[in-house]
Structure 1
Amino acid sequence: MGQHYLLQASVFRAAVLFAVVVWIPHIYSDYPEPVSNLSVNSITVSSLNLSWTLRNGISPYYKVAWDVNLLTTNQTFMQISQLAPGTKYTFNVTSVASDNRTEGRTVEISQNTIPAQVENITLLNSTNSSLTLAWTPPLGHVDSYEVSVSGAELKIITVSTNSSVISNLMVGRVYNLTVTSVSGALKNISNIVQFATKPNPPEALSVSGQTNGSISLLWSKPLSMDGLNVSYEVSYRSSLSGVNLTLHQTTSLTATLTNLLSGSQYDIAVVTIGVKDLRSSLVNLTAYTVPNAVQKLVVSTVSTSSVNLTWLPLNGTSNLFSYSVSISSPDQTLSTTSNNYQITQLQPGTPYNCSVRTLIIVASISGPSQFIQCNTKPLPVTNLTASPVGTTEMRLSWFYQRNNKSSYLYNVSVNGERWIQTSNETTQISDLIPGNNYTFTVQAVVNGMISEPVAISAFTVPTPPGELSVSSVYIVWPVAFWENQ
């Protein structure tokens, strides 16, 4: 096989009386035997080995071609390198005769290189039940990717792009993940990466107690997270300062915020912190500290049927405040947003127990009550009369409707200077000067409250003259003058 031979053909032609023998040369070639058992082995991301056999005879060398590449060898194997990862190549192997021109039939084989390994796997997003991954597409060609997630059970997802969303995962757990690049029947698995789902938020966040400087919180463990180690972070912000503050992390299901402003609104958020420091969604709550008691509560104006209360406005979120004003006998509760209030329709000369407390209506909380005694003025006396008694005394009397109040007293003044107090509706003023005009004023007094004054003016009786005596008499009479006619 593979040798050259010279063949001659003889042609005989008969003619009259003579014969001619003509030799016509003809060349016949035998083509080399094609290779057999062509196979591929030792495949990597950028190289592979080809090998083949030749059943009979020998061949000086072989041509190996793929794409635009052509190599020759006198061996029955060849290593092909500098290939693109994950790419399918068709290799042609041809045996060549010793004349370096005659070739046997070409034998071909197709094979993929191993795809490149996926790198730079990153977590784009994590929820409490899903993970969103992305990675850099590797060099060369990839038909698809297999995303494997190991947890309670192995989950494999096949995708054609360089990202994947893995759903239906358990909350707050760590998962081992790999991404395998696939090209044909060949695969290349990535290094293992670990990502975790987020924890669930706390349940049933509520206020368990509050003072004028603190708020106590209570919550329940997140759902579906029994047996998992979690902690909690509490943050809060005053509506007045707008400054965000954060408590230290705690594993307890309670927390108390201290050093707060009284009567203020606080926006509170609690978050669960799980594995890999992942945080749940926030659970929000608006809460309020108890307002302080009102300061400098006074009765500023009093009449016979009303009292006016005033107090200092409180520090805090003033637009949240209203005030509850209470009065006894009969019990009444009134409301105002101002720092003063007039209580009307009261009985004259009557003592009342009054109190004021601050309310935050939106939260149904109130501060401590501040108490004060509220007494109305008594009515002025009526029918005041003054009757002289002798020349140096004056008897005063008046009428007053006591309304079953036995504790009435009366202040009686003489010319606004001399004061006498009595519990009767009559009194006698002595040591007066005869024949003088005096102004007497009477005011009712009850529970320390004094009525409007009622005044009357009267003269004392002058001193009568003594015995009449005559020491001399002068008589004067008129004299008439008559003219003579």
Structure 2
Amino acid sequence: MASFTGLQSGRVYAVTVTAVAGHFSNQSATCQLATVPNPPGPLNITERTTNSLSVQWKTPGLMTGAPDISYNISYRSTGTGASGQSTSSLRYNLLSLSSGTFYTITVITVGPQDLGSAPVNTSVYTLPKPVVSLTASPLSTSSVKLQWTDPVDVKSYYSYRVQYSNATVPVGEKTVNTSFTDVPGLEPGTGYTFTVTTVAAAGSDGIPEHTFSYTKPKAVSNLLVEDLNTSAIKLSWSEQDDHKPTYSYLVTVSKRGSMVTNVSTTVESYTFTHLQPGDSYTFSVVTVVQGVKSDSVETSSYTKPGVVTNIAATGTTTTMNVTWDAPVGQVDSYTVTIYNDNVMENNHTLSNDSLELVFQNLKPGKVYVVRVVTNSGPLTEASLNVTNATYPNPPGTQMVEDQTTGSINISWARPLDMDLGQYRFSVFHLGQHNLTEHNWILLENLQSGTLYNITVVTVGPLDYQSTAVTTANYTRPHSVSGLTEAGITPTDVTLVWDQPENKAGYSFKVEVTYPNGSLFISVTVNNTTRIVTGLQSGSNYTFTVTTLTEDGTMATPVKVFYYTSMFPW
């Protein structure tokens, strides 16, 4: 047995053996023997993708120029069998690999006679695939929510590196094992770029995915209704303590849950016009930066209600009927108030479908002021005052206090439930009009025995007149004249007289009384003569004739005294 040293690796050597015996030798046949090749130089991964690995190595030491050298490459992932390839090159691309997977790669130098060197190993991951559908949405003024879909062919050991930066510098980094995360500690109203990288292992990162989002800007403060009228409301608010020039404001007005309109502005106030009177509106202000909105700040307010129109008050002696037309817009209710001498007498609140109210139990002949107030929410709007008066009560029944042939003195009871000094009386007769504060009147320069219709009304405030109280009264007729006897017998006396102003409807009452004053006879006649019969002879009688008008008004009676004659003896 012989051992050769100092040979080159991976070479083929011809070996002969010569037998020597003394001077004799015998050479054997030549035998081809090869040395084991040296292992390749260190393995170097020159390129990685999600499904391939490029491996490179150096020529094994002391084997430069060695013929018939090749390399066997085998690779395997955890839990799988090995795959092998052969190449004469110093590099090899492993294809159709699984993404984000840990591979162990072994390279052996294969020399002559298929002798293999000691193996050279390396381990490495293929790159993981990137996340899918990365989105960022503002959570608050200081945080953003990131979400994504796991990469295709995701592995349980994957993690995700989340990096974020503002426009100038990196801000932070975190690693998570879920497909979502919240990023806190950010500045309000600021734009951030977010990068999510799939990590299979340290140094084995997928292609980064990027997205961008703003944090929510801070909300405005001190939102106020600064001024309002029936169709416009002005809003004002304070800007944020970190206000940025890129901010704008979206101002929205809505009614009963439905948006009316919205506007964008860069100043801290806005006036909405063309609103409905008396309606409730909700106003919201949102700060906006690049389409990202802050939390909404809201307030509510009513516009002032409109004023009622065509208000009218119509009175009777104890009531006042108030009517009006509804204003434009919305009204919750109406409050109707009535005053007397600047003191409220009564008020009522009515539903918005009522346009009329009757005040009861008022005093007659009083001036009242009426006002109608429209109510919408906490706001009210009063109408102009309307003044009117109740009608006075009529005077009481007329009574004749005295009559003459040329005058009538009448009186009447004062009207009920009315205060002295608050009314007067108008007295009408024969087209004449007399105004007096007294409850009586003397009508003079009248004709005797004539029927007069006398009307009295109470005159109250605003010259309103009560219903009329009318009476018909005669002046006294003139007394008869020339009353005398036209013949006397023991049992009869014939009377005759004249009426200086005899008028249609006159009659005459003839009364005969005994000397003791007791009545003998009373009779009414229509002519100016009367024969009184049935008297006692030689007796003294009183004869009275009184002119009567048609209603029995009497003139001053005229009396004469006569004796009947005696019967002859």
1:321 correspondence with 2:330: no
Amino acid at match of 1:162: S
1:376 correspondence with 2:376: no
Farther-moved stretch of structure 1 (183-192 vs 227-236): 183-192
Which deviations, in whole Å up to 9, do the C-alpha atoms of 1:59-106 show, x marking residues without a partner?
Answer: 621111224542212233333345444332211212224234x43443
Which deviations, in whole Å up to 9, do the C-alpha atoms of 1:187-239 show, x marking residues without a partner?
Answer: 345265321012232222221121112112122224x5334532212222345
1:262 correspondence with 2:268: no
| Matched position secondary structure for 2:36 | coil
Farther-moved stretch of structure 1 (171-180 vs 448-457): 448-457
Q: 1:202 corresponds to which residue?
A: 220
Q: 2:45 corresponds to which residue?
A: 41
- Cα separation, 1, equivalents of 2:139 and 2:385: 58
Q: 1:219 corresponds to which residue?
A: 237
Post-superposition shift, 1:281? Answer: 2.6
- Cα separation, 2, equivalents of 1:36 and 1:469: 182
Post-superposition shift, 1:248? Answer: 3.0
1:76 correspondence with 2:85: no
Contact 2:137/2:213 (CA < 8 Å) preserved in 1?
no
Q: 1:483 corresponds to which residue?
A: none
Count of residue pairs the alignment pairs up: 446
1:173 correspondence with 2:182: no
Gapped regions of structure 2 (runs ≥ 5)? 1-8, 20-30, 77-81, 483-495, 499-528, 534-569
- Cα separation, 2, equivalents of 1:469 and 1:197: 128
Which deviations, in whole Å up to 9, do the C-alpha atoms of 1:162-182 show, x marking residues without a partner?
Answer: 332212322211112212222
- Cα separation, 2, equivalents of 1:34 and 1:5: 20
Which deviations, in whole Å up to 9, do the C-alpha atoms of 1:255-312 show, x marking residues without a partner?
Answer: 11111222222222222212x12122322222111112221222233324x4332222
Aligned with 2:372 (options 353, 356, 367): 356
Which deviations, in whole Å up to 9, do the C-alpha atoms of 1:105-149 show, x marking residues without a partner?
Answer: 433221123334456432255433321223344455562211111
Which deviations, in whole Å up to 9, do the C-alpha atoms of 1:328-362 show, x marking residues without a partner?
Answer: 435226341143344456544232333222223x3
Greater relative contact order, per chain length (Cα 8 Å cut-off, separation 6+): 1
| Matched position secondary structure for 1:43 | strand
RMSD: 3.7
- Cα separation, 1, equivalents of 2:406 and 2:385: 49
Q: 1:183 corresponds to which residue?
A: 200
Q: 2:75 corresponds to which residue?
A: 66
Post-superposition shift, 1:445? Answer: 0.6
Post-superposition shift, 1:156? Answer: 0.8
Amino acid at match of 1:336: T
Gapped regions of structure 1 (runs ≥ 5)? 11-26, 478-485
Contact 1:205/1:220 (CA < 8 Å) preserved in 2?
yes
Q: 2:425 corresponds to which residue?
A: 410
| Matched position secondary structure for 2:104 | strand
Amino acid at match of 1:180: T
Contact 1:298/1:309 (CA < 8 Å) preserved in 2?
yes
Cα 1:238–1:433, aligned 2, differ >3 Å: closer, same or farther?
Answer: farther
Q: TM-score, normalised by structure 1?
A: 0.79
- Cα separation, 2, equivalents of 1:317 and 1:419: 55
| Matched position secondary structure for 1:458 | strand
| Matched position secondary structure for 1:249 | strand
| Matched position secondary structure for 1:75 | coil
Amino acid at match of 1:322: Y
Aligned with 1:121 (options 129, 134, 147): 134
Q: TM-score, normalised by structure 2?
A: 0.68
Cα 1:424–1:246, aligned 2, differ >3 Å: closer, same or farther?
Answer: closer
Look at both structures and tell me which one has the larger radius of gyration over its CA atoms: 2
- Percent sequence identity is 23
Q: 1:87 corresponds to which residue?
A: 101
Post-superposition shift, 1:438? Answer: 4.8
Q: 1:15 corresponds to which residue?
A: none
1:272 correspondence with 2:287: yes
1:422 correspondence with 2:435: yes
Contact 1:31/1:104 (CA < 8 Å) preserved in 2?
no
Post-superposition shift, 1:325? Answer: 1.6
Contact 1:48/1:113 (CA < 8 Å) preserved in 2?
no
Q: 1:158 corresponds to which residue?
A: 175
Contact 1:146/1:182 (CA < 8 Å) preserved in 2?
yes
